[in-house]
Amino acid sequence: MNRRLFSVIGGAFLLTVCSPKDDGAARAAPATPTPSEAMQAGGTITGKIKFTGARPTNPRIDMSEEAACKNKYPAPPTAETVVVNANGTLANVFVYVKAGLPAGAKYQAPATAVVLDQSGCRYHPHVLGVMVGQNLEILNSDPVLHNIKAKATKNRPFNVSQPSAGMKTMRTFAQPEVMVALECNVHGWMNAFVGVLPHPFYAVTGSDGGFSLKGLPPGTYTIEAWHEKYGTLTATVTVTGTETKTVDFTFAAR
């Protein structure tokens, strides 16, 4: 009867199969961990994206020519360029491991697609992340024409037309790229940003401005926080075992 031994090395799972013919000589075969497997063990880097200075006023969006979209808002919507939360933190900040993962480490892209919805003539979410090779499902929930243009530089750009509600289009990215800008050629105020990475260690801040990068193997990492207006901030963090390290970033108004 074969015996199977499992071990975890640097977040990657190794499966060793010993059979009578092996006579005790085990052969190890590395397996590519899925994102959920990669996050089951290891260290965590967590923190908040803080904001200082006067809160900017985002411009109002004029949707008067698109009644189907305008009617979805009780008040005129505004751009999402700078979203400051009630607790003084920033939403829509893409936080990710820029450097420090083990050389040669590979991570399997999730089978589940990330959905980018067009509703009310806006992109939801405004900032998102996908892994290389993972499906990005672009959905049109509006009864109007949208034309989605990806302004990629390291990946192949695309331009997709969706003239009616319910239409879905799948796209993938072949190379890491932070960030890919998306825009609508029909509605100039529509924009979104996609971070494409070869690993699952990224997050987008929401209404509390917090982020958490889980399952990191022991090591020293460069963590980058990206914001569409304020640029990037970086920090160096070392994690060992299953400990949690905290690092906060602060963007200043300008």
Please name the residue that has the structure tokens 């083990």: 102
- Domains observed in the chain: 3-31 (no CATH), 43-252 (2.60.40.420)
Of the candidates 207, 222, 224, 217, the residue with the CA atom closest to the CA atom of residue 239: 217
What's the pLDDT score for residue 201? 98
- Its pTM stands at 0.84
Collect all residues with Cβ–Cβ distance below 8 Å to 201 and sequence separation of at least 6: 38, 96, 97, 101, 213, 215, 216
Does the pLDDT value for residue 100 go beyond 70?
A: yes
Q: Is the pLDDT of residue 32 over 50?
A: yes
| pLDDT > 50? residue 18 | no
In the chain, the percentage of residues whose pLDDT exceeds 70 is 84
For residue 29, the model assigns a pLDDT of 46
Say whether pLDDT at 146 is over 50: yes
pLDDT for position 36:
57
Q: For 155-196, how does the pLDDT look when each residue is reduced to its tens digit (9 = 90+)?
A: 999 999 999 999 999 999 999 999 999 999 999 999 999 999
